[in-house]
A and B are shown apart, each in its own frame.
Chain A
């Protein structure tokens, strides 16, 4: 039952490595930027200023990170991009966690054919690189933001499903789920009130491990011009368009690229650390 490690109340402050502290700091900063985007963007992100095109960073106070080929403020675009990318990643991670956990519970509860079907779908999902699957769906259905989020929401569901199924089966085998069923509780009550809270820490750790992968996936798709569509902007989207100006104005591309790298790095450092603390059994 190490999988659902119960944390002792925080009597002593845990020793947090410096890089995890930095990672947490970066995450907080990025979240603040995403939430306050409307307040802190110096310019409207689509506003063009054709007099100031391709201004390098740190040249003028008006455009601290410079401007792009249309004279749009890179900082403002970066802030809006962070919001869009995080919104997609959060939405997708949540959808995937809910979908996967539900399917995992269904598999654990019904066993038999349902379980085989879920496991087969999970195998299928794991057998194809997700990028290919995502590209095919985008090709067939065209592109829209809800579709994109929903599509990203399919990413990684099989991992939650496997975890939820395994833990739910072991919860039944260990007794507390059986004991509560035996009290007359409905399966919904057993799964939602007892099993889910018991495995929540493991699921949350998985979310922190999958979240950066979703950011990378979205930015990859947007970079290829197949994700977020202009005039909306996202981190990958900015890198994709900035690439045209790599020889003359590398900053357009470097700013969002740095944010992508730092954010995935921060979330995975914090996620790894959480996993080691809460749940060493996760791969």
Chain B
């Protein structure tokens, strides 16, 4: 079976200029990542801000092209953003944004915005009933459809964005921090809605978040990013039960989890990652509790440490897999 979405060694740099005299300096936001997403599968992407996860999400959707590497959807390369082929492809791939209020046109009733993709892609038929059905599928009433975005709550707006994203029956959905702007009590509802919709429709999904709890709940597989690279990738249960990479272990140990703590708490020290000042060697070494001399000079490549489990760390070999405690 060919994967729905495949990223091969993608890299993307931005040029920043810090002041009037500043030199143009490329910052590698994403630095050589390979990932695949299958139909019916949710890939979680975890990382701190600045890890390049949003850039990765935009490349996965084809909103921007990678500088290096390739992105293929259904084995076909991603067309250039803004081209007619690209626009047609939008029917197949949609996005859910962090800020639903920003993603909606505040002048139009939300029902009208939900059916806009049908208008854009010239999908005929009863657009209004399709819109009402989409509203119902995300748990909103027809009356709420007549309202404007600012008359709805944050969770309701995000439901509107989800309804709009799903109305063309896309095959891939990329959610970039879809719940981090919502109240904690609402987050679970929206996550559950996404889980249900995904199962119902067999969507391939990329779920980007800094919130491990949410990612664990929704993902089949999880990739952990640090400064533009994937440091560890595994099945969600595996990764959270027995994190291998020192960075993942620190993240997992810091996250609140139900029940007795199974992983010893690791406190991260040092500066939070800054993509403009990427350390030599393994990018994580300044904060790594177990870094060696080799880590300071040589960047580790991702390696298979167990079936379906890769990690990029000099200290991890297939034999050295750290057992769950």
A residues sitting closer than 8 Å to B (CB atoms) are 1, 4, 6, 174-176, 178-187, 189, 194, 197-198
Contacts and interface: CB of A to CB of B under 8 A. Distances in A.
18 contacts: A6-B106, A174-B102, A175-B102, A176-B102, A176-B105, A179-B95, A179-B97, A179-B103, A179-B104, A181-B82, A182-B94, A183-B94, A184-B88, A184-B89, A184-B91, A185-B116, A198-B106, A198-B107
A176 B103 contact: yes
Contacts of A176: 102-106
Nearest to B88: A184
Contacts of A189: 120
Given A175-B97, A189-B120, A183 B164 contact: yes
Contacts of A184: 87-91, 117, 120-121
A6 B94 CA distance: 28
A174 B105 CA distance: 10
Given A175-B97, A176-B102, A186 B87 contact: yes
B194 interface: no
Interface in B78-102: 82, 87-91, 94-95, 97, 99, 102
Given A182-B63, A194-B105, A6 B99 contact: no
B90 A6 contact: no
Contacts of B116: 180, 183, 185
A198 B97 contact: no
Given A183-B117, A183-B120, A6 B150 contact: yes
Contacts of B103: 175-176, 178-179
Interface residues of B, number: 26
A197 B90 contact: no
B105 A198 contact: yes
A189 B105 CA distance: 13
B61 interface: yes
Contacts of B121: 184
Nearest to A176: B105
A253 B272 CA distance: 74
Contacts of A194: 105
A185 B148 CA distance: 21
A135 to B, nearest CB: 39
A180 B107 CA distance: 14
The dominant DSSP class at the A interface is helix
Interface string B114-127: 00110011000000
Given A6-B150, A189-B120, A198-B105, A183 B90 contact: yes
B176 to A, nearest CB: 11
Contacts of B102: 174-176, 179
Nearest to A174: B102
B117 to A, nearest CB: 5
A1 B101 CA distance: 11
A182 B95 contact: yes
Interface string B284-302: 0000000000000000000
Contacts of A187: 82
A198 B107 CA distance: 7
Which 10 A-B pairs give the minimum distances between C-beta atoms?
A184-B90, A175-B102, A179-B103, A184-B87, A174-B102, A175-B103, A185-B120, A183-B117, A176-B105, A194-B105
A14 B148 CA distance: 22
Nearest to A194: B105
Contacts of B120: 183-186, 189
Contacts of B107: 4, 6, 197-198
A90 B94 CA distance: 44
A182 B105 contact: no
Contacts of A6: 106-107, 148, 150
A180 B165 CA distance: 10
A182 B148 CA distance: 21
Q: Which of A175, A181, A194 neighbours the largest number of chain B CB atoms within 10 Å of its CB?
A: A175
Contacts of B87: 184-186
A134 B158 CA distance: 53
Given A6-B148, A180-B105, A182-B95, 20 more contacts: A4-B106, A6-B107, A175-B99, A176-B104, A176-B106, A178-B103, A179-B102, A179-B103, A183-B116, A184-B87, A184-B89, A184-B90, A184-B91, A184-B117, A184-B120, A184-B121, A185-B120, A186-B120, A187-B82, A197-B107
Contacts of B106: 1, 4, 6, 176, 198
B146 to A, nearest CB: 13
A185 B105 CA distance: 14
Interface string B44-68: 0000000000000000010100000
